[in-house]
Amino acid sequence: MTDLFEEVEEQLRSDRYKELARKVLPWVLGVAALALVATLAYWGWDTWRSNNVAKASDQYAEAIEALQAGDREKALRLWTETSKSQAPGYKALSLMHLAAYQMSQNKTDEAVKLLDQAAEAAPDAALGDAARLKSALALLDTASFTDVEARLKPLMEDGRPYRIQAREALAFAKIRAGNLSGARSDFVVISQSLDAGEGAQSRARAAMGLIDSGSAKEVAAVVKAAQALPPPAVGPQGSVPQSQDVAPQ
């Protein structure tokens, strides 16, 4: 009799397990299928992204080589193509090169639009802030002080990669607006800042000397000199040396 009860109980358990399996198995298979689809989708996306980055890298390098060889038209064409790519770093850098060309043609508005697009496309703060700083510098001669200040103030916050250069640019903007005391205060901060490189400190001391001597008009030459200095080494991932003195061109 005991064996009979045990057999019945075992049969009941078996029936319950089978019923549970019939209910649960479709869900398990569905989850497994979704996991497989997600894995394949990620693999496809990662492959697509890698191919886009590789293509953009090749185009960008070819554009640099073309420019060095004197073929500016080819360089501009390649940068235009790369600026439409899905590789954020190379897209931003290409837009910055196109903006530099527009500046060389005295087309400030077009250059600023391209720089704003570069800042938006940039994959990190180093590359994005480089574009934002360049746009502010491009507007120094034409935009109102309020507009320039609005672009520079966020770049001066602690931790931003170009905070010293942004403060320097704001000081120049204050000079152009006639606020010599405000400009001098900014130059004092730069000259004493441990974050400022030797070049930035030297320019700050020179500007302070011109202001103190009553030769503030001559500071405009310092502005132009600062804008004409070579750019820092900004890579497609926004990597920059820690002690950059000048704004990127």
Average pLDDT score over residue span 61-90:
92
Share of the chain above pLDDT 90, in %: 51
- Would the pLDDT of 247 be above 50? no
pLDDT at 33: 53
**Residue 159 Ramachandran class (φ > 0 left, ψ -120 to 50 alpha, else beta):** left
d(CA 63, CA 91): 13
d(CA 55, CA 163): 33
* pLDDT digit string, tens, across residues 209-224: 989 888 766 666 665 5
CA neighbours closer than 13 Å in the CB half-sphere of residue 48: 8
Phi first, then psi: give them for residue 190, nearest 5 degrees: -65, -45
- Would the pLDDT of 9 be above 90? no
In the 8-state DSSP scheme, what is residue 154? Answer: G
d(CA 213, CA 24): 86
d(CA 27, CA 181): 72
* pLDDT digit string, tens, across residues 119-144: 999 999 999 999 999 999 999 989 99
Pair of tokens at residue 99 = 């903006």
Q: List domains and CATH numbers for the chain.
A: 87-228 (1.25.40.10)
pLDDT at 249: 40
Residue 185 contacts by C-beta under 8 Å, 6 or more apart in sequence?
none
* pLDDT digit string, tens, across residues 46-66: 554 566 678 888 899 999 999
